[in-house]
Amino acid sequence: MKKLLFRSMFLAAVALGASHTASAQVYVNVRPVAPVIVQTPRPGPAHVWIGEEWREEGHGYKYEGGHWAVPPHPGARWVPGHWAHERRGEFWIRGHWA
């Protein structure tokens, strides 16, 4: 009985670990280069410029930054995205409203 319980717990731990890594980041060895974006005039006083932003696409990233946005609520501020590094490579942490 103890053997069966141990095996069940071991398999549950392995399954949990596998499901956790299934939602992993997309890693790249070389960061992609952002295209040159011309910042257009601000459409209104409430608008905030959203600069460099990347979206996971396949085994890499696609640029999707360079636009004006209105904060979702008064006092919200844009926290820019940034590149982070792990031993597996570089990955993008998306910007967000805080």
- Sorted by where each begins, the domain ranges of the chain are 26-97
Q: How confident is the model at residue 7 (pLDDT cuts 50, 70, 90)?
A: low
Mean pLDDT of 32-37: 81
Model pLDDT, residue 10: 47
Tokens read off for 34: 């952002």
Model pLDDT, residue 97: 97
Residue 19 has pLDDT above 50, yes or no: no
Tokens read off for 43: 């459409």
Model pLDDT, residue 45: 95
pLDDT for 48-65, tens place per residue? Answer: 999 989 999 988 999 998
